[in-house]
């Protein structure tokens, strides 16, 4: 399973990359705004800076919502770096644009997926990734993980190569459950990824090992 970090914060991207487990980065307009990145030139430069840190898979989201504008913006983003994956919203013109990008060999991530039907449409259009938002479904008492399971079943039934990129991850257990269900990728905040490290028995076990070693060495 691939690990992406869901942030536009360069320090956090570097930290996850330094851990040696990072396969990519996802951003969205809200995450860019959170870092204070505004204006076309700054946004473009920020994507370039992210591409300089990671080896591949940098999702850059279009702001446009009409076919012609999505294509124009997406092609400009894709031209920045071969690592760029054009992130396109699950709307009618977005699906048409994904089909177009797919025919041109431009990688896409169809975002704001909240149903299996939406994921099926995006796969039919040739999306490289679909991003079901499981945390936001959980937030409204819907079962986000059940959506991941449904999409896995559908893609496996027909051999779709579109990868399931589980997004809107809230914590380490979401990551583990996505792995159990066969998600191809998770994208998560750094805290959720770091949460996978933790277990109280690891901490107490290590403390005992170190104390026993010190005692045996007569320290
Ligand atoms: O980047 C898309 C998605 O991961 C957003 O997550 O936490 O805003 O629901 P969240």
Q: What is the pLDDT of residue 100?
A: 98
Q: Whose CA is nearest to atom 4 of ligand 1?
A: 168
Distance 217 CA to ligand 1 centre (A): 50
**Short-list 47, 11, 48, CA closest to 29:** 47
d(CA 158, CA 129): 16
Structure tokens given for 43: 């946004």
* pLDDT score for 214: 96
| Spacing, Cα 133 to ligand 1 middle (Å) | 7
Specify the pLDDT at position 138: 97
Per-residue pLDDT, 184: 98
* pLDDT at residue 28, as a whole number: 96
Minimal-distance CA residue to ligand 1 atom 8? 168
The CATH code for residues 2-218 is: 3.20.20.70
Residues of the chain whose pLDDT is less than 70? none
Give the number of other CB atoms < 10 A from CB of residue 183. Answer: 26
Start-to-end CA span in the chain (Å): 44
**In this predicted model, what pLDDT tens digit does every residue of 147-187 receive, in sequence order?**
999 999 999 999 999 999 999 999 999 999 999 999 999 99
What residue segments make up the domains of the chain, in order of their start?
2-218
Measured at the CA of 143, the angle between CA 146 and CA 194, to 5 degrees, comes to 90
Q: Which of 2, 34, 72, 87 is catalytic?
A: 87
The ligand 1 site (C-beta within 6 Å) comprises 6, 26, 28, 133, 135-136, 167-168, 187
The pLDDT score that the predictor gives to residue 219 is 75
Residue 68 Cα to ligand 1 midpoint, Å, equals 26
């Amino acid at each position: 399973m691939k690990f992406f970090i869901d942030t536009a914060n360069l320090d956090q991207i570097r930290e996850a990359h330094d851990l040696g487990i990072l396969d990519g980065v996802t951003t969205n307009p809200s995450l860019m705004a959170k870092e204070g990145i505004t204006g076309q030139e700054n946004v473009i430069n920020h994507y370039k800076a992210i591409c300089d840190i990671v080896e591949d898979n940098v999702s850059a989201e279009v702001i446009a919502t009409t076919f012609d504008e999505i294509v124009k913006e997406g092609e400009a983003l894709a031209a920045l770096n071969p690592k760029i994956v054009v992130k396109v919203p699950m709307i009618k013109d977005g699906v048409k644009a994904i089909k177009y990008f797919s025919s041109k060999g431009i990688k896409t991530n169809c975002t704001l997926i909240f149903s299996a039907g939406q994921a099926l449409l995006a796969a039919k259009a040739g999306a490289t990734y679909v991003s079901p938002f499981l945390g936001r479904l959980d937030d409204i008492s819907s079962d986000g993980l059940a959506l991941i399971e449904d999409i896995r079943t559908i893609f496996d039934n027909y051999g779709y190569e579109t990868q399931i990129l589980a997004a809107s991850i809230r914590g380490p257990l979401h990551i583990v459950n996505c792995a159990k269900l066969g998600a191809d990728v998770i994208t998560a905040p750094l805290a959720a990824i770091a949460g996978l490290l933790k277990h109280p028995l690891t901490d107490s076990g290590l403390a005992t090992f170190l104390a026993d070693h010190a005692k045996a060495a007569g320290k």
